[in-house]
Amino acid sequence: MSWSGGRFLGLVLLLLWSGAIWWGLTTTRVSDTVWFPGSGLVFNLGHAVLFGVEALLLGWVLHPEERPGHGRWLLASTLAWLYSAGLEGRQGFLDGREASLADLLTNAIGAFGVPWMLADRTTRARRAVWVGLGALGSALLDTLT
């Protein structure tokens, strides 16, 4: 595995992104106030985006020569989702935060759905609708419970 060029940049971006996710999901500074009507839904929906990008960055580091969604990208998606599961578990021990199965589902939709959505150039729009609807449904579930 060569660490030249793009792969090293991918690793730096992955570490920065992962650190930002850790900070955002383990602090109450982000979640302790209502920023605007519906902000809970937006924040819950954001989980799909956070871990979709995490999976893409992991895939870039692990398999820079492959298109998202093909072959070994399943490993990147699985690692991104496992990271999200660790963060959800951590939230269960923090004051002002709670672990949520609906968040885990939304995280999985992002981690697996975003690379899948980008895998096929001919069906991206249709796949984006399915990923978006799945994330929205999961985020609504979490918001309403």
**Predicted confidence band of residue 88 (pLDDT cuts 50, 70, 90):** very high
**Chain segment 5-33, per-residue pLDDT in tens:** 678 899 999 999 999 999 988 886 655 55
For residues 114 and 134, what is the distance between their CA atoms, to the nearest angstrom? 11
Nearest to 17 by CA among 62, 46, 58: 58
Residue 119 to residues 68, 95, 123: CA-CA distances in angstroms? 5, 40, 9
The pTM of the full predicted model, rounded to 2 decimals, is 0.86
CB 40 within 8 A of CB 143: yes
Q: Model confidence at 43, in pLDDT bands (50, 70, 90)?
A: confident
